Structure 1
Amino acid sequence: MGDFIIQFSNWIWDTPMLVLLMGGGFILFVYSGFVPFRYFGHALKVVSGKYDDQNLPGQISSRQALSAAIAATVGLGNISGVAIAINMGGPGAVFWMWISAFVGMATKYFTCSLAIMYRGKDSAGVVQGGPMYVIEHGMGKKWKPLAILFCVAGVLGLLAIFQANQLTEVTRTVLLKPYGLDAGDTTKWILGIGMMLAVAVVILGGIQRIAVVASKLVPFMVVVYFATVLIIMLKFYDKIPAVFWQILEDAFTGNAVMGGAVGAVMVIGARRAAFSNEAGIGTAPMVHGASKNNEPVREGMIAMLGPFIDTVVVCSLTAFVILITGVWESTENDGVTLTLAAFEMGLPGIGKYLLMLSVLTFALSTMFTYSYYGHKCFNYLFGADKANYYNYFYLVTIVFGAVVSLNVVVSFIDAMYAIMAIPTMISTLYLAPRVKAATKDYFKRFGNG
């Protein structure tokens, strides 16, 4: 079964997803009139809260929605996912992650604008947003099978098994194995149960508690991680120019991949970027659709900052640490253990503990928000009165994620993400003209005061 999951994931990401996410995203990027570049400054003003109105329908503020979305995207994909990309595709994969990020900004602008434009109500009458409601209310009832497909994949793909797996690994490597305290599988089970209980305290309190915790946790975790990486980069500052050129050169030669396959480097970069910033997957629209905002374009502006923060900033920090320390060429490690080796080389003695703190906050923040995404999908499929059952299923799978192999976990999540992207991108491309019209109207009204 594990081999089938890995093979299916590799097949669907080889060409279909590259065309859909990168090709579709590039179309949206151009069709938008290069919105991510033209209105980046305006997006920063909007996210400052200048235009917030707490009396509008919704459950959280737009800033809280962005914090929750970033809490999901700025996670182990930035620490472990980048390491996997470099290990598989070499430095060139980082360049294609950057390209995916700028394309992803346009994608998130459209998807999250649509999430406000076509909000719906669940069976309890609560206002909800997300690709499933965009499909049903924007495209029509005949397209509902696409909405169901998205939600089924979301229920399975938005489990926290990857985060549980990598948090377990780094905890054993940093805190237990050096002191002879690791008991193998028994330790994995104990850590899995501990994570399950910690996550339960937050997610059983609903989106309001998740948003409050995320808005406190996100700034802290980004500052700690950024400060640690900055120290390492200053220590190896003389290697930064060479590493930068290595990224650019390898992106178009594929030297680090067997056979010099540039296409393989592009696929690896796009695949890991999609896992990290989730643009086009359809997760962020679910939380942005719950914000107290009646301006679709304004919410889209806020949302498009996510891929920039996640991939251009945070993923790049991880990549440069791994590359300037050279550990990617001199170790058999993969995933979080590769990043761990880089931090330990950069800051001997203390680096691994600082990374441990970052991994802990990154993983938990993602676990909190993913539960909300899966809950919304389950709500759509089975009704609001049964949605809370999903939380218990979600919590149990955290323990499962702690004990299974990394390859199977990554491939399973990647496969579900790919399936979620299909209805998300189809609906976004189909309804893109309506966002384009709304954009013109918004800035016309904005210019008139």
Structure 2
Amino acid sequence: MFKKIEESIAAFSSWIWDWPLLVLLIGGGLFFLIYSRFTPFLYFRHAINVLRGKYDNENAPGQLSHFQALSSAIAATVGMGNISGVAIALVMGGPGAIFWMWISALIGMATKFYTCTLAIMYRSESEEGKTLSGPMYVIIEGLGRHWKPLAIFFALAGLVGTLPAFTVNQLTQTLVDVLDWDEGAKLYIGIVLAIMASFVILGGIRRIGLVASRLVPFMVVLYFITVFTILILKIDKIPEMFILIFSDAFSGEAAAGGALGYLIKTGVKRAAFSNEAGIGTAPMMHGNAKTNEPVREGLVAMIGPAIDTLLICTLTALAILSTGVWKHSDGNGISLTLEAFNSVLPYGIGDGIVIVMVLVFALSTLFSFSYYGVTCLGFLTKPKYGKYYNYIYIGSIILSAVVKIDFAINLIDSAFALMAIPTVISGLLLAPKVNAQAKIYFQKITSKKDNPLT
């Protein structure tokens, strides 16, 4: 029975992530990029100033500061997708998959600008005075009530897509590999993780935002130090690795079956899982930002794919490629990354660092993803009932610890694909509204002599 379910989900994931969805994500992103005339990219420094708190207003509607909103969104994206997702991309697509992850990230920055600006423009408020945001509210408030079936479609897919299957699976696999535990230990690891996660996620969005804003800087700095150490030790290999990425990007020789199309699909799929641009999760978090300026939060959200994919995923890829383990290893996901670290760092240090990083990355992802599920359930029922998703989520952590990695990947990929459909469609239809807001905002900050390029 379970075997048939696995096969069905695998077949569905393969079908839905074929060209139609890639055209939607990449085509939609290219439309946003061109339609915006690349203007948001010119205001990148201004986005950094917003992130630093220069424009924070405690009296503005919302529940999180700009920094907490981005930290919480990054906590959900800078996680296992950056450590194990990159390794999976290399195994399935070869070095060239990284190039297509870069392309997807650049396009994704424009997508996030539009979708997260819309999240502020069309957010709502619950009876308890809490912010309600995400693609489903954008659809209802922006497109009208007759579009509600599309909003419901997103929320239903979101209930599955926000489950912790991939993250928990890879975390338990890391602990089992490094500590040389029996496979049966995965169940007990799952129970411990569920208990740890419950202390944060049951505290609501404010506690999630607070914890994420403290965890994210720590985990990013730790990861940078570790990977830069590896790259310094392998400095002579770096130019060769960049050449390999670019040369393989258009040949597909290292991809499964040697197909260029498969290579492109692999890169785009893993980038989508890594930075979630166009999926619809980030707007649910960014929509909670304390601001009266939708475009301002759209600019902050745009920073996410740059940090997540262009920077952190690239560092992971270079670390794995430079060690050469990807050529002959049977490992996949976190096992391959762990093997790469251990091949360079002194005995025992690689294991220890990976355990710490994976724990921090995984826990931060677990905390943020729970809120997305709460938001989806709250939309489908009533906002006050959304909190009950947390109990389903905590229980699923235990189940996710023991499922196979292929099943975890295919399940989340399938749900992400379904979530992307209403997210991108609503973004495309409402793009003129964003451009109108952007024009007003950029004129406003320019008139105040706030140089947008500084």
Deviation per residue, 1:176-231 (Å, 9 max, x gap): x1xxxx2322x111000000000001000001110010000000000001100000
Question: Do the aligned partners of 1:70 and 1:306 also contact (CA within 8 Å) in 2?
Answer: yes
1:93 aligns with 2:91: no
Deviation per residue, 1:264-302 (Å, 9 max, x gap): 111000000000000000011101111111101100000
Once residues 241 and 308 of structure 2 are traced to their aligned partners in structure 1, the CA distance between those partners, rounded to angstroms, is: 20
Question: Do the aligned partners of 2:18 and 2:265 also contact (CA within 8 Å) in 1?
Answer: yes
**Structure 1 residue 255: Cα displacement:** 1.1
Once residues 404 and 123 of structure 1 are traced to their aligned partners in structure 2, the CA distance between those partners, rounded to angstroms, is: 39
Once residues 242 and 315 of structure 1 are traced to their aligned partners in structure 2, the CA distance between those partners, rounded to angstroms, is: 18
Q: In the superposition, relative to structure 1, how do residues 190 and 63 fare at CA in structure 2: closer, same or farther (>3 Å)?
A: same
Q: Aligned residue for 1:147? A: 151
Question: Do the aligned partners of 2:93 and 2:256 also contact (CA within 8 Å) in 1?
Answer: no
Question: Do the aligned partners of 2:78 and 2:274 also contact (CA within 8 Å) in 1?
Answer: yes
Once residues 259 and 121 of structure 1 are traced to their aligned partners in structure 2, the CA distance between those partners, rounded to angstroms, is: 50
Q: In the superposition, relative to structure 1, how do residues 326 and 36 fare at CA in structure 2: closer, same or farther (>3 Å)?
A: farther
1:386 aligns with 2:377: no
Question: Do the aligned partners of 1:123 and 1:383 also contact (CA within 8 Å) in 2?
Answer: no
Q: Aligned residue for 1:342? A: 340
Question: Do the aligned partners of 2:114 and 2:427 also contact (CA within 8 Å) in 1?
Answer: yes
Q: Aligned residue for 2:368? A: 369
Aligned with residue 314 of structure 1, among 289, 312, 318: 312
Q: For residue 227 of structure 2, what is the amino acid of its counterpart?
A: V
**Structure 1 residue 259: Cα displacement:** 4.5
Q: In the superposition, relative to structure 1, how do residues 85 and 36 fare at CA in structure 2: closer, same or farther (>3 Å)?
A: farther
Q: In the superposition, relative to structure 1, how do residues 36 and 95 fare at CA in structure 2: closer, same or farther (>3 Å)?
A: farther
Q: Aligned residue for 1:222? A: 220
Once residues 280 and 325 of structure 2 are traced to their aligned partners in structure 1, the CA distance between those partners, rounded to angstroms, is: 34
1:111 aligns with 2:115: yes
Question: Do the aligned partners of 1:36 and 1:105 also contact (CA within 8 Å) in 2?
Answer: no
Once residues 399 and 17 of structure 1 are traced to their aligned partners in structure 2, the CA distance between those partners, rounded to angstroms, is: 31
Q: Aligned residue for 1:396? A: 395
Q: For residue 13 of structure 1, what is the amino acid of its counterpart?
A: W
Deviation per residue, 1:404-432 (Å, 9 max, x gap): 10001100000000000000000000000
Deviation per residue, 1:58-94 (Å, 9 max, x gap): 1111110000000000000000100000000000000
1:172-191 aligned within 5 A: 172-175=176-179, 177=180, 182-185=181-184, 187-191=185-189
1:254-333 aligned within 5 A: 254-333=252-331
Q: For residue 228 of structure 2, what is the amino acid of its counterpart?
A: L
Aligned with residue 198 of structure 2, among 197, 200, 210: 200
Once residues 339 and 121 of structure 1 are traced to their aligned partners in structure 2, the CA distance between those partners, rounded to angstroms, is: 43
1:128-167 aligned within 5 A: 128-167=132-171
Deviation per residue, 1:43-64 (Å, 9 max, x gap): 1111111011000111111110
Q: How many residues align?
A: 443
Q: Aligned residue for 2:73? A: 69
Q: For residue 170 of structure 2, what is the amino acid of its counterpart?
A: Q
**Structure 1 residue 258: Cα displacement:** 4.2
Structure 1 unmatched ranges of 5 or more? none
Q: Aligned residue for 1:58? A: 62
Q: For residue 154 of structure 1, what is the amino acid of its counterpart?
A: G
**Structure 1 residue 125: Cα displacement:** 4.4
**Structure 1 residue 376: Cα displacement:** 0.5
Q: For residue 196 of structure 2, what is the amino acid of its counterpart?
A: A
Q: For residue 141 of structure 1, what is the amino acid of its counterpart?
A: R
**Structure 1 residue 122: Cα displacement:** 3.1
- Tell me the secondary structure at the aligned position of residue 386 of structure 1: helix
Question: Do the aligned partners of 1:229 and 1:321 also contact (CA within 8 Å) in 2?
Answer: yes
Once residues 128 and 294 of structure 1 are traced to their aligned partners in structure 2, the CA distance between those partners, rounded to angstroms, is: 15
Once residues 385 and 146 of structure 1 are traced to their aligned partners in structure 2, the CA distance between those partners, rounded to angstroms, is: 22
1:392-431 aligned within 5 A: 392-431=391-430
Once residues 418 and 326 of structure 1 are traced to their aligned partners in structure 2, the CA distance between those partners, rounded to angstroms, is: 32
Q: For residue 297 of structure 1, what is the amino acid of its counterpart?
A: V
**Structure 1 residue 384: Cα displacement:** 2.4
Q: For residue 301 of structure 2, what is the amino acid of its counterpart?
A: A
Give aligned-pair identity as a percent.
55
Q: Aligned residue for 1:5? A: 9
1:30-45 aligned within 5 A: 30-45=34-49
Question: Do the aligned partners of 1:95 and 1:269 also contact (CA within 8 Å) in 2?
Answer: yes
**Structure 1 residue 144: Cα displacement:** 0.6
Q: For residue 73 of structure 1, what is the amino acid of its counterpart?
A: T
Q: Aligned residue for 1:446? A: 445
Q: Aligned residue for 2:352? A: 353
Q: In the superposition, relative to structure 1, how do residues 148 and 122 fare at CA in structure 2: closer, same or farther (>3 Å)?
A: farther
1:29 aligns with 2:49: no
Deviation per residue, 1:330-387 (Å, 9 max, x gap): 1100000000000001213111211111111000000000001110111111112322
Superposition RMSD in Å: 1.0
Q: Aligned residue for 1:432? A: 431
Structure 2 unmatched ranges of 5 or more? 449-454
- Tell me the secondary structure at the aligned position of residue 50 of structure 1: coil
Question: Do the aligned partners of 1:122 and 1:379 also contact (CA within 8 Å) in 2?
Answer: no
Question: Do the aligned partners of 1:170 and 1:356 also contact (CA within 8 Å) in 2?
Answer: yes
Once residues 53 and 416 of structure 2 are traced to their aligned partners in structure 1, the CA distance between those partners, rounded to angstroms, is: 31
